Structures are given as structure tokens and as C-alpha cells.
């Protein structure tokens, strides 16, 4: 596993780099500037990017959006001290594959990175309740019930795979269908449930007791 670390706090960055390398994880580069981080992401093509949220000049969300504009699909994990629901929701809606807190245990961090490499979306266990509150605030009970009632059996099956944090490619492989077919089903699920992201759909399913829980470290 090759990691690109982008964090403006030098001491934290150096400590995390040492911790990762002691655990056998290669740190391809470690930088404190968002612009340099974007350049290195394109140049080095790491397996995962660990990205701080609060940075001067170019914050983590701006970095995340620029990476997507550049056409890079490298999984990005926000590693932050912020437990604000706005930061969590904006990060996930901007395409982050993980939202983890800096005070987590090292073993939990490594486990989360492995989950993300498998195509899952990982949210810090302390933050899942926050995400659930946001989703519940966005969708009324009536709309929620009617939305689930509109799902086909195949869409319900795919929804439960989403709740396990699986990517379209992994779902396609497990169900024996094409990536494109999965993508069409996911779009239909989001439309019927009246949500904007696959993570919101997954949390709704979990809150209703329909599927297993979204992956958390």
C-alpha cells in the first residue's frame, strides 16, 4: 500500500509517516501544501491519499475537488480533528471515501485503510450517528417509506451492498453483472429514495434495519 499524506501540521505529519512505515506501509510522499499534494497525486498515483481538512490557502475540500477535476480517482480519506456534521457531509458529497478522526487508534486507522482499498467507504464510528441525524433531517418518514416501497428486488439487493460500503466494481463482480448496470441501478435507488449520495442511501437502509451497517473502524 502506497500512501500520499497531505497535512500542514509538520509534527503530526512526521509522526504519522513514521507510524505507517513501521507498519510496513510505504509513504510515497508527505507534504504540507494542498497545491503540491495535487501535483504529487498525479505524478505518484498512490493507492490512497490521507488528507487533512483544515489547511491554509487550499483546504482539504478544495484539494478533494481539484483532484476530481483533474480526473483522478484515487481514494481520498479525510483525516481530521473536526467532528462537525457539515464537514462530514461536504467531504462525503465531494467524493471522499473515508472520514476519520485524528485521535483514533493506529490499528483502527490501518484497518480502515485496508477496507478502503477493498472499495468500501469508511466513516469514523463516532460520526455515524451524526450522519444518520443529517439524513433523517433531510428525508421525511413518509417519503422514506414510499421510497423504499418503490425499489425493485434487485435495487434492494444492491442497496444492501452499498450499506456494506462496496464500490460499483465490487458489487458487479459479486452479482455477476456489469459495472454500467450497477451504476444505472444506483442512480435509480438515489432517485427513488430522494437522496444525493450512495452513503446517504446506505445510512437510510441501516436506520430502517434493512441492511448491515456502513463500515466503520
Q: Where are the domains of the chain?
A: 2-117, 131-207
Distance of alpha carbon 185 from alpha carbon 33, whole angstroms: 39
Contact between 163 and 56 under an 8 Å Cβ cutoff? The reply is no
**Res 209 pLDDT > 90:** no
Q: What is the CATH number of domain 2-117?
A: 3.40.50.2300
What tens digit of pLDDT does each residue of 24-33 get? Answer: 999 999 999 9
Beta bridge partners of 88: none
- Are the CB atoms for 125 and 216 separated by under 8 Å? yes
Query: 4: pLDDT confidence band, cut at 50, 70 and 90?
Result: very high
pLDDT band per the 50, 70, 90 thresholds, residue 17: very high
| pLDDT higher than threshold 70 for residue 212 | no
pLDDT per position as a tens digit, 31-81? 999 999 999 999 999 999 999 998 988 999 999 989 988 989 899 999 999
Q: Domain spanning 131-207 has what CATH number?
A: 1.10.10.10
Residues forming a β-bridge with 51: 6, 78
Give the Cα-Cα-Cα angle 94, 138, 123 (nearest 5 degrees).
Answer: 45
- B/e letters for 5-16, b = 16+ CB within 10 Å, e = fewer, are bbbbeeebbeeb
Under a CB-based contact definition with an 8 Å cutoff, are residues 75 and 46 in contact?
Answer: no
Q: What is the largest CA-CA distance in the chain?
A: 52
Of 116, 120, 143, the C-alpha closest to 208 is 143
Task: Say which residues have a Cβ less than 8 Å from residue 70's Cβ, sequence separation at least 6.
Answer: 38, 41, 42
Per DSSP (E only), the strands in 113-178 are 122-123
Amino acid at each position: 500500500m502506497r500512501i500520499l499524506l497531505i497535512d500542514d501540521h509538520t509534527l503530526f505529519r512526521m509522526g504519522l509517516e513514521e507510524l505507517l512505515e513501521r507498519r510496513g506501509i510505504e509513504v510515497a510522499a508527505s507534504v504540507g501544501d494542498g497545491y503540491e499534494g495535487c501535483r504529487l497525486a498525479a505524478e505518484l498515483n498512490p493507492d490512497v491519499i490521507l488528507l487533512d481538512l483544515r489547511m491554509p490557502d487550499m483546504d482539504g475540500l478544495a484539494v478533494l475537488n481539484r483532484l476530481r477535476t483533474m480526473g483522478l480517482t484515487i481514494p481520498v480519506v479525510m483525516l481530521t480533528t473536526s467532528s462537525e456534521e457539515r464537514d462530514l457531509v461536504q467531504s462525503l458529497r465531494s467524493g471522499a471515501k473515508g472520514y476519520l478522526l485524528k485521535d483514533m487508534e493506529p490499528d483502527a486507522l490501518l484497518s480502515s485503510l485496508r477496507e478502503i482499498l477493498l472499495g468500501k467507504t469508511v466513516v469514523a464510528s463516532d460520526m455515524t450517528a451524526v450522519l444518520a441525524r443529517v439524513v433523517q433531517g433531510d428525508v421525511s418518514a413518509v417519503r422514506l417509506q414510499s421510497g423504499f416501497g418503490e425499489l425493485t428486488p434487485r435495487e434492494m439487493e444492491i442497496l444492501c451492498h452499498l450499506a456494506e460500503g462496496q464500490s460499483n466494481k465490487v458489487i458487479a463482480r459479486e452479482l455477476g453483472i456489469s459495472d454500467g448496470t450497477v451504476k444505472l441501478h444506483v442512480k435509480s435507488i438515489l432517485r427513488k429514495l430522494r437522496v444525493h449520495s450512495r452513503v446517504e442511501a446506505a445510512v437510510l437502509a441501516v436506520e430502517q434495519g434493512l441492511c448491515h451497517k456502513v463500515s466503520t473502524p
